[in-house]
Amino acid sequence: MVNWIESIGVKVSADSIKFPSWDEKFRSIVYGDWDRLLSIRTPGEILIKSYEVTGNKFRLATAKMFANWLESISVETGRVNTGSFTRISRAIPYMEGEKSNSPWVNAIIFNFLIKLYSIERDQKYIDLAASLLNYIEDYMKENLQKLDPIFYQGASGIGYYLASALLTLRITPTTTLTHTTETSNPSLMSQLSPMISPIELGFLILLVVIVALVVILKVLSGP
């Protein structure tokens, strides 16, 4: 399948590549429209997995080119000057040229960028990932009550991909937030469980994951 993916890639520039879907449109993530792909991910993630299994550096280079394309279609959604630094939020659309953005799509892309960073240790992947996480955090603050708890396009899906990124970084919300927030304490979570609904608890856990990732990326980004 990886050979097929490589064969349909369209180079945008010497260091950028994108991949068409069944309708010849270019999407940032793929799933059902690639009939041999059984899970939702970016084409770049498939290439990374192939690199990890085979050691084929061309696959890794192609994944990096795809990341460059993703960055080229990203749009700034917010900018706040905090005094000590400028907080920039960016989002990558589901489809090239699309105006709307999705926190679910960007959580999937965030997971890919963290995997790429874990291999390359290139600061630019952390910077882009951090800006996507800022967008997701902004969206959650404004639309938390409107967000469905389901996996597809919903809160549980966002939480899944963000948690997957945490595992890639080898850090869990509990160990990261022990000294920063009480919600990382499992005993506190157990006490809260009977008091709130499962859906509300799911949203709370998602917010904890977001806070954990914000802390980690700030550390990785440096001063």
The domain boundary, picked from 41, 73, 105, lies at: 73
Q: Give the pLDDT score at 17.
A: 96
Which tokens hold the place of 136? Answer: 């997701």
* Whole-number average pLDDT of the chain: 78
The domain boundary, picked from 73, 91, 119, lies at: 73
For every residue of 170-213, DSSP letters joined together read T--HHHHHTTT-GGG-HHHHHHHGGGS-HHHHHHHHHHHHHHHH
Q: Are residues 88 and 188 in the same domain?
A: yes
Q: Are residues 120 and 12 in the same domain?
A: no
- pLDDT tens by residue, 33-48: 554 554 678 889 989 9
Q: Are residues 22 and 123 in the same domain?
A: no
Burial class from Cβ neighbours inside 10 Å (0-12, 13-18, 19+) for residue 204 reads middle
- pLDDT tens by residue, 63-99: 999 999 999 999 999 999 878 888 899 999 999 998 8
Residues in a beta bridge with 81: 86
* Locus of tokens 């192609």: 62
The domain boundary, picked from 43, 73, 103, lies at: 73
Q: How many domains does the chain have?
A: 2
Q: Are residues 30 and 108 in the same domain?
A: no
Cα distances (Å, whole numbers) of residue 103 to 93, 119, 125, 174, 222: 10, 24, 18, 23, 25
User: Coil, helix or strand for 153?
Assistant: coil
- pLDDT tens by residue, 172-210: 333 232 222 333 333 333 433 343 345 444 555 666 677
Q: Which residues lie closer than 8 Å to 109 by C-beta, 6 or more apart?
A: 28, 29, 42, 70, 92, 132
Stated as kind and residue range, the H or E segment containing 112 is helix 103-120
- pLDDT tens by residue, 6-25: 888 999 999 999 999 888 88
> Is the pLDDT higher at 40 or at 26?
26
Residue 170 in this model has a pLDDT that exceeds 90: no
How many Å apart are CA 155 and CA 137, to the nearest integer?
A: 12
Q: Are residues 46 and 14 in the same domain?
A: yes
> Is the pLDDT higher at 142 or at 171?
142
Would residue 78 count as lying in a domain? no
Residue 222 in this model has a pLDDT that exceeds 70: no
Q: Could you tell me the residue range of the domain that residue 24 belongs to?
A: 1-73
> Is the pLDDT higher at 154 or at 78?
78
How many Å apart are CA 153 and CA 203, to the nearest integer?
A: 14
Can you give the pTM of this predicted structure? 0.77
Q: Are residues 92 and 162 in the same domain?
A: yes
Distance of CA 116 to the CA centre of its chain: 11
Q: Are residues 143 and 213 in the same domain?
A: yes
Q: Are residues 105 and 211 in the same domain?
A: yes
